[in-house]
Amino acid sequence: MPEPHPRGPLHGVRVLDLTRVLAGPFCTLLLWELGAEVIKIERPGHGDDTRLFPPYQNGESVYFASVNRGKRSLALDLNAADDRATFEALAAQADVLVENFRPGTMEKLGYGADVIAQKFPALIFARISGFGQTGPYRDRPAYDLIVQALGGMMSINGPEGGPGVRLGISLADTGAGMFTAMAIMAALYERRASGKGRVIDMAMYDCQTMLLEASLVRYLATGETQAPTGSRHPVITPFDVFQTQDARIAIACANDDLFQKLSDAIDRPAWKTDDRYAGVFARYANHAALKHDIELALAGKPAAEWLRLLETAGVPCAPIHDMADVAADPQLNARGMFVEVNDPEMGVLKMPGAAFNISGYPRDPTRPPAPNLDEARADVLRQLGRAPEPQRERVKGAPRDPIW
């Protein structure tokens, strides 16, 4: 059932979504935002665990509402014969099937990769797991924290001289969702010509490894293991956060020209010919002393005044904004990066929109709400040519026992 007004270039693409929590649902959200239809298959009675994740608005999870907006929900017990028939009828009509169970779960349900590929040869079957469907860690439980610790991400993140800390975002999850969405779309592109499905075996662990980029590349080439460098660029100087009279600001001088502008703007023109600081290599060698000297120079005025002076001088700089600043940000608001959802139970919700911006598909300032559990039952059965049944459950995420 393609929607009447295409939302994006993937209009007409039907995604059958068995995913829960974050990595998988973020993947199918990306596909939805690009125009696909997503039918979220949830276990009866309970649904996606994140229906119970805080924070709540009117008793419903805001977290669930943001990651699952626009999707449709159907509650199916994949161990029950009737529901299996429904699932298979939907799979026969779908373009993409996505799951993020632990490896082995789909096999136990009788829906391993071989079975799916044989029954539905045109289906793109994407699997997301912590460590992948193969290899010695295959059966390990994978939470974002575990992947960040084991996969090296923590070891390069945090203040200089201190122990590494987990990223402040769940990138092991969201990154995996992003890479999987890419693999799916590449397979969709190919399938338009070939008609052939593919099985995609993505691991949070693999995805995070690609995102380690420079730090891992450096180690593999030189054997140097990087420790956290705080906000400081490991090579370019000054490229860091600096304390002013009242708050910290970021300053990024990527070359000599910008450093000379900085020297003038903060009333240290002598630095332009100072052997310690004139030239990229000199600044790198003396980066600690330079940071100290810059903070001495900045101590006399508040952040707002320095930002004004530096901007006028053409020196890249920025305040350190928090979530409240981001929500009020003129650029993000001018670009339409926030959207509103009018949810029947929750009321009006504001949330970040999608980063995509494609001509012919202007950014919509609204989104449909996330679905109640099993909300699409009647519609989906009608599409399949079956007699409609009453919706099995009504509540979205009323705070019963949280499972986590």
Which positions are annotated as active-site residues? 233
Q: Is 135 in the site for a copy of itself (CB under 8 A)?
A: yes
Residue 29, C-beta contacts closer than 8 angstroms, at least 6 positions apart: 38, 67, 68, 69, 70, 71, 177
Positive or negative torsion for Cα 124, 128, 129, 135: positive
Q: Is 45 left (phi over 0), alpha (psi -120 to 50) or beta?
A: left
For residues 235 to 254, the per-residue mask of contacts with a copy of itself, x marking binding by CB under 8 A and - elsewhere, is xx--xxx------xxx-x-x
How far, in Å, CA of 346 to CA of 121, rounded? Answer: 41
Residue among 129, 318, 175, 183 at smallest CA distance from 241: 318
152: contact with a copy of itself by CB under 8 A: yes
Give the residue, chosen from 19, 28, 66, 86, that forms a contact with a copy of itself under the rule CB under 8 A.
66
Task: Determine the residue type at 99.
Answer: E
Closest CA to 350 of 50, 4, 57: 57
CA-CA distance, 16 to 13, in Å (whole number)?
Answer: 10
Stretch that binds a copy of itself, among 38-46, 100-108, 151-159, 367-375 (CB under 8 A): 151-159
Beta-carbon-side half-sphere exposure of residue 200 (alpha carbons within 13 Å): 29
Taking the complex as a whole, how short is the minimal distance between the CB of residue 328 and a copy of itself, in angstroms? 11
How far is the C-alpha of 75 from the C-alpha of 372, rounded, in Å?
10
Near a copy of itself by CB under 8 A: residue from 115, 122, 188, 309: 188
User: Cβ-count burial of 378 within 10 angstroms (0-12 exposed, 13-18 middle, 19+ buried)?
Assistant: middle
Residue 250, strand partner residues: 241, 318
**In angstroms, rounded to a whole number, what is the distance separating the alpha carbons of residues 57 and 345?**
9
Closer residue to a copy of itself in complex, CB, 33/375: 33
Assess 30 for contact with a copy of itself (CB under 8 A). yes
Q: Which of residues 195-224 bind a copy of itself (CB under 8 A)?
A: 196, 198-203, 205-207, 209-224
Task: Check residue 270 for interaction with a copy of itself (CB under 8 A).
Answer: no
Report in angstroms the alpha-carbon separations of 53 from 64, 72, 148: 7, 19, 21
Residues in contact with a copy of itself, counted by CB under 8 A, come to a total of 153
Q: List the one residue from 14, 28, 32, 35 that touches a copy of itself (CB under 8 A).
A: 35
φ, ψ for residue 337, nearest 5 deg: -85, 0
Q: Which amino acid is at 29?
A: L
Phi, psi of 142 (to 5 degrees): -130, 110
153-172 residues near a copy of itself, rule: CB under 8 A: 153-159, 162-171
E-state strands within 338-401: 338-343, 347-352, 366-367
Nearer Cβ to a copy of itself (74/262): 262
Residue 233 binds a copy of itself, judged by CB under 8 A: yes
Instruction: Out of 45, 104, 230, 269, point to the residue binding a copy of itself (CB under 8 A).
Output: 230
The answer to the question of residue 286 lying near a copy of itself (CB under 8 A) is: no
Q: Does 121 bind a copy of itself (CB under 8 A)?
A: no
Among 183, 265, 266, 290, binds a copy of itself (CB under 8 A): 183
- Shortest Å, Cβ 188 to a copy of itself: 5
Nearer to a copy of itself, 75 or 185 (CB): 185
User: Quick one: which of 44, 89, 107, 226 contacts a copy of itself (CB under 8 A)?
Assistant: 226
Answer yes or no whether residue 102 interacts with a copy of itself by CB under 8 A.
Answer: no
Q: Which of 5, 195, 275, 323 binds a copy of itself (CB under 8 A)?
A: 323
Report in angstroms how near the CB of residue 189 gets to a copy of itself at its nearest.
5
- The reply to whether 145 sits near a copy of itself by the rule CB under 8 A is yes
Compute the least distance from the CB of residue 133 to a copy of itself, in Å.
9
CB of 296 to a copy of itself, least distance (A): 19
Binding to a copy of itself in span 357-396, by CB under 8 A? 357-360
Residue (of 306, 167, 326) closest to 250 by Cα position: 306
Decide: is 81 part of the binding site for a copy of itself (CB under 8 A): no
Determine which residue in the list 278, 337, 381, 398 makes contact with a copy of itself, applying CB under 8 A: 337
Segment lying near a copy of itself (by CB under 8 A), choices 40-48, 77-85, 181-189, 366-374: 181-189
Residue pair 201/131 in contact by the 8 Å Cβ criterion: no
- Check binding of 319 to a copy of itself (CB under 8 A): yes
CA-wise closest residue to 128 among 54, 49, 191, 208: 208
